[in-house]
Amino acid sequence: MIVLTVNGARHELDIEPETPLLWALRDEIGLTGTKYGCGIAQCGACTVHVDGQPVRSCSLSVDDANGTQITTIEGLSPDASHPVQRAWIAEDVPQCGYCQTGQIMAAAAFLKAIPNPTDADIDDNLTNICRCGTYPRLRAAIHRAAALARG
């Protein structure tokens, strides 16, 4: 039995231990805000926080996630009030929107580690793919989120 604690709720799952966390979140637990994009940890659309660290959930088995605390986009805030989400709304970042939940989870973890990032910090750390090319607004939103978090 796999035990996952997701957004504070405990889930006991009778699934194969090699199942990627992504598919357990989406198909077993029903949290579809975490997206499938590539399956090989290239695009970051599936980014969640595992014990506070950003993880590409398509490439982490539930066995390796067993017993951890997992946060998905649905658990980032109850009302889109996380500074990163507020910044994303203010900068109107999303276009098609498919990669954005992963972008937001990556940015939220990044800002926790580096609260006052430079552009070079952003370039070095945020590698999620966006096909709509929202990068210019995404960069502005990260800086805005950092400012919001500082208060």
Partner 1 sequence: MGHIDTALSRRTFLVAAMSAAGGLAIGVSIPGFAGAAPLAGGAPWNNDQGAGAGEVNAWIVIDPDDTVTIRCAKAEMGEGVLTSMPMIVAEELGCDWTKVRSEYVSPNRNMREKMVYQGMLTGGSSAVRASRPYLQQAGASARARLIQAAATRWNVPAAECEAADSKVTHKPTGRTINYGALANDAAKVTLAKEPDIKTPDQFTLMGKSQARLDTKVKVTGEAVFGIDVRLPDMVYAAVVMCPVPGGQVKSFDADAVRKMRGVISVVPVPNGVAVVADRFWRAKQAALALPVQWNPGAGAGTSSAQIREDYRAALKGPLENAKSVGDAGKALGADKARLVEALYEVPYIAHATMEPLNCTVHVQPDRVDIWMGTQAPEITTGLTAKTLGVTPDKIFVHNCYLGGGFGRRAVNDELLQALAVAKTISKPVKLIWTREEDMRHDRYRPQAAIALKAALGPDGMPTAIQAQTAVGSILKGLKGILDFPMGPGVEPMAVEGLVNLPYAVPNLRVDAVLKDTHVPTMFWRSVGSSQNAFAVESFIDELAHAAGQDPYQFRRTLLAGKDDFLKVLDTLAEKSNWHEKLPPGKGRGIAIHESFGTIVGQVAEVSVDAKGKVRCERVVVAVDCGHVVNPRNVEMQMESGVIYGLTAALYDEITVKDGAIEQGNFDSYQMVKLADAPKIETYLALSGGSKWGGIGEPGTPPIAPAVANAIFAATGKRVRSLPFSNTDFSRGV
Residues that bind partner 1 (CB under 8 A): 15-16, 19-20, 23, 26-40, 42-43, 45, 72-74, 78-81, 85, 88-89, 92-101, 104, 122-124, 126-139
Residue 18 C-beta: closest distance to partner 1, Å:
9
Residue 112 C-beta: closest distance to partner 1, Å:
18
Nearer to partner 1, 95 or 112 (CB): 95
Nearer to partner 1, 9 or 147 (CB): 9
96 to each of 23, 50, 90, 136, 141, how far by Cα in Å? 22, 26, 17, 15, 17
Residue 6 C-beta: closest distance to partner 1, Å:
9
Which uninterrupted H or E stretch holds 70? strand 69-71
Residue 3 C-beta: closest distance to partner 1, Å:
15
Q: Which residues contact 51 (CB under 8 A, 6 or more apart)?
A: 68, 69
Nearer to partner 1, 52 or 131 (CB): 131
Q: Which tokens in the block code for residue 56?
A: 């590409």
Nearer to partner 1, 66 or 95 (CB): 95
Query: Contact 43/37 with Cβ under 8 angstroms?
Result: yes
